[in-house]
Structure 1
Amino acid sequence: MREPLSRDRALAAAVALADAEGLRALTMRRLAADLGVEAMSIYHHLPGKQGLLDGLAETVVDEIGAAVAAAESSGPDPDWRTRLRRRFLAAREVMLRHPWAPGLLASRPTIPFGVYGYYDAIVATLVGAGFSHRIAHRALHAFGSLALGFAQEVFSPASAGGSMDVDAVEAQLPAMAEALPHLTAMMAAEAHAAADPTLGWCDSQVEFEFTVDLLLDGIERARG
């Protein structure tokens, strides 16, 4: 007997489709075909494409919450820096599994409710470690989307929600060298290693962890 259609089943299929072919491949008709149902039946659970995308965003945030809970249960309660770093890296693992998710989360007009609880836990960690609410507030501004596992880039490839053609940019580097010598030299020197997972032009794992550690160091200094 075929499993009855539900919101959770539809969203699980949508995630699988986006993972396999990217967010652009996700349409109500294609999702219905993958589920083996009529497209109109999905509308009973998800009100159109925007409702589907909102549901995807909620699903990703829930997955981040589960990943963080699993990471936090893996050992004794550490210091605040280790707790936040562990949290951010757990979120990063979710983003790497779903490289379309950063662009989706950054573009939704409605914030999934789970995001508020997620950031509330970050504030609780900081306040519990002796930081004032003022510093905790500024820390949230500094963390931005890093807390959710990705960097919000001005320019990024389609996999992260942008439209920059990385190969085209690399092909233009020789022509850019004279007009933009310092930027071009930096870009040439900072080519990502093949083993360094990336979510965008300047959102590799190495860069992500460097930035997180830099921010955590700065927040500790702000305590004084």
Structure 2
Amino acid sequence: MATERKPPRGTRKRDVPLTKDGIHAMALQLIDADGVEALTMRKLAAALDANPMSLYHHVPNKDAVLRGVAHRVGSQFSAEERGGIPWQDQLRELAREFRELSHRHPKLMGYSFTRPDYVQPEDPFWQALIGILAAAKLGEEEIPRVAATLVAVFTGLLLSELNGALQRWATLSPASSGPDEEEAPPPSKDVIDTMFNSALTAAVAGVENHVARAHERV
């Protein structure tokens, strides 16, 4: 008895229609598993059981997919106002959420932090940061500059944590003892947490100082 031959992968009719949101969701799964560099449109199509050409009806190229995935992850930030607590605590809360998100998707975020277009003005994270700095009574012209500085500080810190540089730097001796010096063990998670919180405290103090100097000039 002849057996029915199945059509090649990617040519069968999908049970669920292909959508841009579905493409981004699957791309995020693949990136979390194998990293950004390993993602190709062909691999993405295979994971979706779709013809590779059908993806281009929804996304023009890999860069567009990555932008969509970054937007999908960035939208996980709460759009709700963080009122009821001082702006300093709001900033600490936002930064810690940002770090938690980075640890949930380290491969994507490690890539995204190197892109100049990573932060967009409509992003929930950016909007929340702008709102916090407005609550700190910064001048309207100063807000985007201070926000940009804070983003640069935190993305740089998180990138060095994600790629292991921060852990290595924390073990360097004040002075080299020579090539035979034994490597110190990597710092514990508690130590890295403390380092992050120290940087956060310094950032908050920096904004407080900036606000105070701005008010003195008025």
Letter in 2 for 1:177: S
Q: Which residue of 2 aligns with 1:208?
A: 196
Q: State whether structure 2 residue 48 is matched by structure 1 residue 35.
A: yes
Q: Deviations over 1:129-154 (max 9, x none)?
A: 3233455345324312455x66265x
Q: Which residue of 2 aligns with 1:46?
A: 59
Letter in 2 for 1:215: A
Q: Which residue of 2 aligns with 1:121?
A: 128
SS at structure 2 position matched to 1:113: coil
Q: Following the alignment from structure 1 to structure 2, what is the Cα–Cα distance between the partners of residues 196 and 46?
A: 42
Q: Which residue of 2 aligns with 1:200?
A: none
> CA, structure 1 residues 134+192, in 2 after alignment: closer, same or farther (shift >3 Å)?
farther
Q: State whether structure 2 residue 11 is matched by structure 1 residue 23.
A: no
Q: State whether structure 2 residue 68 is matched by structure 1 residue 55.
A: yes
Superposition deviation, residue 57 in structure 1: 1.9
Q: Following the alignment from structure 1 to structure 2, what is the Cα–Cα distance between the partners of residues 48 and 188?
A: 44
Q: Deviations over 1:98-154 (max 9, x none)?
A: 00123322333544535555324322322223233455345324312455x66265x
Q: Deviations over 1:42-90 (max 9, x none)?
A: 1111111121122222222222x2xx347x67xx621101111111111
Q: Following the alignment from structure 1 to structure 2, what is the Cα–Cα distance between the partners of residues 17 and 118?
A: 24
Q: Is the 8 A contact 1:18 1:100 kept in 2?
A: yes
SS at structure 2 position matched to 1:24: coil
Letter in 1 for 2:19: S
> CA, structure 1 residues 26+113, in 2 after alignment: closer, same or farther (shift >3 Å)?
same
What is the identity percentage for the equivalent residue pairs of Structure 1 and Structure 2? 28
SS at structure 2 position matched to 1:52: helix
Q: Which residue of 1 aligns with 2:187?
A: 192
Q: Which runs of 5+ in 1 are unaligned?
A: 198-203
Q: What TM-score, normalized by structure 2, do the two folds share?
A: 0.70
Q: Which runs of 5+ in 2 are unaligned?
A: 1-13, 213-218
SS at structure 1 position matched to 2:157: coil
- Larger radius of gyration between Structure 1 and Structure 2: 2
Q: What TM-score, normalized by structure 1, do the two folds share?
A: 0.69
Q: Choose between structure 1 and 2: higher helix proportion.
A: 1
- The ranges of structure 1 where at least 4 consecutive aligned residues each deviate by more than 6 angstroms after the TM superposition are none
SS at structure 1 position matched to 2:37: helix
> CA, structure 1 residues 114+93, in 2 after alignment: closer, same or farther (shift >3 Å)?
farther
2:27 to 7, 10, 14: 14
